[in-house]
């Protein structure tokens, strides 16, 4: 049996002080009574004193027995829980409701701790499952561009005729596009891993929002040219500064711009991509508007959910992982900013980012 198991012996040992106090106090009371009667010239039989002692002891013993019986169910539940050890970790009903206020308080504390533990465990399980799901999807998505690169490289190697130069250039352009997909997948994987330790990778400062937007657009220049997309930046002033982390903000903008290109490239003709930057009294606002396929009304409430691809992800862009906007919202929330989306099928999508000067400081103060 477990050394900490609750038995009648442990019950008595826990109350040894009270038993001793009862015996001593009863003995002293009888002694005082006997001396007082003796001083008064009265005589009392020793058997009567013994009878009083036995009577008091009987009442006290009966009380202990009743208390033991009353708490036995709680004790048996406790012993079962000790015997189960770690195997009974999910048994929420392991403890019977305590009969004393102290036991009830302990049971409530244990219940609250268990609930907190189960919530924490559930969040860790969800994070682990999400990570595994994303990793498997990421690896699956990279298989296709790797295979295409290999095939195109083999085809290009056999074309040495100058007449084949246009085909070779087209093949190289396709290779570059597939390599960009690999780079994008690697970036997503890297930032997903970093997101778990976001606080350790946070460097807030005043950042020129216009400069960050220009840099992100320049990094997507080739993709915009291939998709006939023409970015245009409209800003209230040459420099609009916000309090944020430049690297993480650039990551969010990459996700939004990448989605704008991805869901606009199949539309015919030249397509605008309008970025508006406004300086506000308490911060700034940024909107990125494309003229792509748009988002179905029933999909809009779920676009920030992990792995949700919606109608467009199943039909228009099959390589979509459903993680870009999810990660973007996670980062934006941690930075103390806000993000929302407006969209309609066939009319395009507008992503709004709102920056408050004190937002990121409120986040850092709660770390």
Q: According to the model, what pLDDT value does residue 136 have?
A: 65
**Domain of residue 161, residue span:** 124-196
Same domain, residue pair 183 and 245: no
Backbone angles phi, psi at 206, to 5 degrees: -80, 130
Backbone angles phi, psi at 305, to 5 degrees: -80, 145
In a domain, 192, yes or no: yes
> pTM of whole model > 0.75?
no
- Binning pLDDT at 50, 70 and 90, where does residue 87 land? low
Instruction: Tell me the pLDDT of the chain averaged across its residues.
Output: 81
In a domain, 132, yes or no: yes
Same domain, residue pair 305 and 221: yes
In a domain, 114, yes or no: no
Same domain, residue pair 174 and 252: no
In a domain, 48, yes or no: yes
% of residues, the chain, pLDDT over 70: 82
Same domain, residue pair 18 and 75: yes
Cβ proximity of 294 and 344 under 8 Å: yes
Name residue 206's beta-bridge partners.
Answer: 243
Same domain, residue pair 218 and 346: yes
Cβ proximity of 38 and 56 under 8 Å: no
Q: According to the model, what pLDDT value does residue 158 have?
A: 61
Q: According to the model, what pLDDT value does residue 252 have?
A: 94
- Binning pLDDT at 50, 70 and 90, where does residue 49 land? confident
Provide the sign of the torsion angle of the four alpha carbons 12, 13, 17, 23, taken in this order.
Answer: positive
Supply the CATH number for residue 333's domain: 3.30.565.10
Higher model confidence: residue 125 or residue 167?
A: 125
Same domain, residue pair 231 and 342: yes
In a domain, 266, yes or no: yes
In a domain, 211, yes or no: yes
Residue range 322-360, pLDDT digits in tens: 788 888 999 999 899 999 999 998 899 999 999 987 766
Same domain, residue pair 338 and 217: yes
Give the mean model confidence (pLDDT) for residues 180-188.
75
The total of structural domains in the chain comes to: 3
Coil, strand, or helix at residue 159? coil
The DSSP 8-state label assigned to residue 207 in this structure reads E
Interatomic CA distance for residues 104 and 220, integer angstroms: 63
Q: According to the model, what pLDDT value does residue 36 have?
A: 81
- Binning pLDDT at 50, 70 and 90, where does residue 171 land? confident
Same domain, residue pair 337 and 312: yes
End-to-end Cα spacing for the chain? 45
Residue range 310-322, pLDDT digits in tens: 766 565 665 667 7
Same domain, residue pair 358 and 236: yes
Residue 147 has pLDDT above 60, yes or no: yes
Select from 196, 215, 248 the last residue of a domain.
196
Select from 196, 218, 252 the last residue of a domain.
196
Select from 156, 178, 196 the last residue of a domain.
196
Where are the alpha helices (H) located in the chain, listed in sequence order?
8-14, 16-39, 46-84, 101-157, 165-195, 209-219, 221-226, 246-262, 310-315, 324-335, 359-365
Higher model confidence: residue 41 or residue 260?
A: 260
Same domain, residue pair 61 and 144: no
Residue 300 has pLDDT above 60, yes or no: yes
Same domain, residue pair 224 and 189: no
Same domain, residue pair 63 and 208: no
Q: Which two structure tokens, joined as six digits, stand for 60?
A: 């006290």
Give the mean model confidence (pLDDT) for residues 61-73.
87
């Amino acid at each position: 049996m477990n050394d900490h198991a609750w038995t009648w012996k442990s019950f008595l040992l826990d109350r040894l002080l009270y038993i001793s106090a009862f015996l001593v106090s009863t003995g002293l009371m009888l002694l005082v009574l006997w001396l007082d009667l003796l001083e008064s010239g009265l005589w009392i039989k020793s058997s009567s004193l013994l009878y009083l002692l036995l009577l008091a002891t009987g009442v006290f013993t009966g009380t202990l027995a009743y208390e033991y019986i009353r708490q036995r169910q709680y004790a048996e539940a406790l012993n079962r829980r000790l015997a189960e050890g770690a195997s009974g970790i999910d048994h929420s009903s392991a403890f019977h409701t305590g009969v004393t206020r102290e036991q009830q308080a302990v049971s409530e504390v244990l219940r609250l701790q268990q609930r907190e533990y189960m919530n924490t465990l559930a969040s860790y399980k969800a994070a682990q499952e999400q990570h595994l799901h994303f990793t498997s999807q990421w690896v699956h998505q990279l298989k296709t561009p790797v295979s295409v690169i290999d095939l195109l490289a083999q085809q290009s190697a056999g074309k040495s005729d100058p007449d084949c130069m246009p085909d070779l250039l087209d093949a190289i352009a396709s290779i570059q596009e597939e390599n960009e997909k690999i780079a994008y997948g690697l970036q997503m994987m890297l930032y997903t891993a970093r997101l778990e330790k976001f606080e350790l990778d946070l460097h807030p400062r005043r950042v020129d929002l216009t400069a960050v937007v220009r840099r992100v657009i320049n990094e997507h220049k080739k993709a915009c040219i291939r998709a006939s997309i023409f970015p245009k930046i409209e800003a209230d002033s040459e420099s609009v500064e916000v309090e944020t982390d430049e690297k993480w903000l650039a990551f969010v903008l990459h996700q939004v711009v990448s989605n704008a290109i991805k869901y606009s490239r199949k539309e015919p003709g030249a397509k605008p991509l309008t970025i508006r930057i406004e300086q506000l009294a308490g911060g700034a606002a940024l909107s990125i508007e494309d003229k792509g396929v748009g988002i179905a009304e029933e999909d809009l409430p779920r676009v920030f959910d992990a792995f949700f691809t919606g109608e467009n992800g199943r039909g228009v862009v099959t390589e979509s992982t459903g993680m870009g906007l999810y990660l973007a919202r996670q980062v934006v929330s941690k930075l103390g900013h806000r993000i929302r989306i407006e969209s309609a099928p066939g009319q395009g999508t507008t992503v709004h980012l709102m920056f408050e000067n004190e937002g990121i400081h409120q986040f850092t103060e709660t770390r």
